[in-house]
Each structure stands twice: as C-alpha cells, then as structure tokens.
C-alpha cells in the first residue's frame, strides 16, 4: 500500500498553476491513499474532489475549525480550508474534528476515514497542527486530542491505524514523542505510533520544509522535516509494516513547484500480497 502525506499550501502563491503540478506529481506517484492538508473548498468546488476525479479515486474532506485567520490572509472569506483523504478504495466512514488553537492562531483539524481495502478496512487519519515556532505546548495539546480521536476510531480492524499530516514539529519534539510511547508515555496507554521515516535511508534528503524550495527560501530556516506518516510497530510481512519511505514533490513540475512543502511517501505491507 503506497501512502502519501502532503500539505498543498491552500490558495497561496500561483495556486491555479500549482494545482496542475500537484496533479502531475500524484499521477507519477500512483498512490493508494493520500492524506492532504490545506485543501481549499469554495462554492461547491473542492481541490480534493477535483484531484480524486482526475485520478479515479474516492475522497473525503473535513473543514478545520474557524477559518477566519486563513481567509484574512488571502482577503477572501468565501474560501474554506480543511484536510482531505484520497483513496483507491471506497470510504466507509468519515469524521472531521477541529483541534485546540491558541490566541490569534488559525483553525486546525484532523480527519478520519475508514478505507474499504481488500484485506481489511484501514483506519486512516490526516491532521494539521499549529505552525508557530514556539507553539510546542499547544501542539502537545493538539496531539493529545488527535491521539484520543485515533483511539475512538481505530476499532478492531486487522490493519493498524495509519496517521499522516503536517505536524509543524521537528522529529525530536515533545509533540512527536507523545505519539511514540518509547521516549515518553503515550497519550493513550498501549497506543504506539512510530515515525515511518525511521525506516528511510539515512542519506536520503529528509526536509519537507526545505530552503531549496523557492516558496520557502525567504523564510525562517533551517530546512527541517515537519511532515509525517506514523504507523504502529509491526513485524515484517504484517499489515502496516514499513517497506520503504522517501520524499516526493521536491522539484518543479512543468516549471512550477507544487507546494511549499514536499510530500512524504511510504510503502506499507498491506496484508493482501502487496
């Protein structure tokens, strides 16, 4: 099962040209399931819906909390923002929640989708946490809500949960450690979710917020990985085991960089021979 997570940078920058570049990159990747953040919606049109139609996939979308701060940044109160899931398989269930925010923060959220994969339904999640550099304590509160949300929906499916998103947090941060359970106590006892990048080639480029990207070049550095795919620790050959992980969307498509973030891609053992 090929899983992608990608922050699509909402309606910032040359978004119409970027939209085509995003589609081109996803076509090349041929994912089974994609967790997307900063997905726009306006007047019945939805970026995730358009991508799903072009790629022949199913989809689900859920709004963040209060979109006001986002809308003020582009001067358009008619554009919504949320998280989305694209799936090769039908979506059996879905639920979206808002996450805690701080004073002056933009709305944040998480989306759950239960995917009707051949061997067993896959509980899949995608999220977007607050971005302020000094907001680790807030992100820890958001991860607490996220972990409890995962626990409510992971069910008794044979396939363990897969959690994707833009956590806006460095790999050694407290908020990432909260999900793992092996460096600090997990929010939900027994619920351990590890960073799939632990299985990556140590020499592979890892930054998803990368100063080599022209949309990022003029911002605060350094280059760092802030986007994640989290999975339960499973043995080789078991559903959800990480076989390979790498970056994507890290170069222009027809001269246009797709987003200010690069994507993360993981190939997981899917339990039906893949």
Per residue in 222-261, pLDDT (tens digit) is 999 999 999 998 888 888 899 999 999 999 999 999 999 9
d(C-alpha 35, C-alpha 8), whole Å: 10
Mean pLDDT by 10 residues, the chain (274 residues): 98 97 98 98 97 98 93 96 98 96 90 94 97 95 97 85 97 94 90 95 96 94 96 87 96 96 95 51
76: domain CATH number is 3.60.10.10
Asked if the structure places residue 23 within a domain, the reply is yes
Distance CA 20, CA 16 (A): 7
Give the per-residue pLDDT at 237. Answer: 81
* Residue % of the chain over a pLDDT of 90: 86
Indicate whether 274 belongs to any domain. Answer: no
The whole-number pLDDT of residue 273 equals: 46
In a domain, 132, yes or no: yes
Omega prior to 273 cis, within 30 of 0 = no
pLDDT at residue number 65? 85
Q: Bridge partners of 242?
A: 268
Residue of 201, 24, 1 whose CA lies nearest to 87:
1
Which residue segment(s) compose the domain that 158 sits in?
2-268
Quick check: 165 and 128 in contact, CB under 8 A? yes
Q: Does residue 273 form part of some domain?
A: no
Number of domains in the chain: 1
Cα separation, 248 vs 207, whole angstroms: 11
């Amino acid at each position: 099962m090929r899983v992608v997570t990608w922050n699509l940078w909402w309606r910032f920058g040359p978004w119409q040209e970027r939209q085509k570049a995003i589609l081109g990159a996803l076509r090349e990747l041929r994912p089974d399931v994609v967790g997307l953040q900063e997905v726009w919606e306006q007047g019945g049109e939805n970026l995730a819906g358009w991508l799903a139609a072009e790629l022949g996939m199913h989809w689900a979308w859920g709004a963040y909390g209060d979109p006001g701060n986002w809308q003020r940044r582009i001067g358009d109160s008619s554009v919504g923002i949320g998280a989305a899931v694209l799936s090769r398989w039908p979506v059996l269930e879905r639920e979206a929640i808002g996450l805690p925010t701080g004073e002056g923060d933009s709305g944040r959220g998480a989306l759950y989708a239960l995917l009707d994969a051949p061997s067993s339904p896959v509980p899949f999640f995608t999220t977007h946490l607050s971005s302020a550099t000094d907001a680790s304590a807030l992100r820890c509160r958001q991860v607490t809500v996220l972990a409890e949300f995962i626990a409510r929906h992971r069910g008794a499916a044979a396939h363990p949960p897969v959690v994707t998103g833009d956590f806006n947090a460095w790999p050694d941060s407290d908020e990432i450690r909260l999900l793992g359970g092996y460096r600090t106590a997990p929010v939900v006892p027994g619920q351990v979710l590890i960073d799939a990048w632990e299985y990556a080639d140590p020499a592979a480029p890892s930054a998803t917020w990368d100063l080599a990207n022209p949309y990022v070049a003029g911002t605060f550095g350094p280059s760092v990985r802030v986007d994640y795919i989290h999975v339960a620790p499973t043995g080789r050959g078991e559903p959800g085991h990480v076989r390979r992980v790498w970056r994507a969307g890290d170069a222009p498509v027809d001269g246009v960089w797709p987003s200010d973030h690069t994507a993360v891609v993981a190939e997981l053992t899917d339990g039906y021979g893949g």
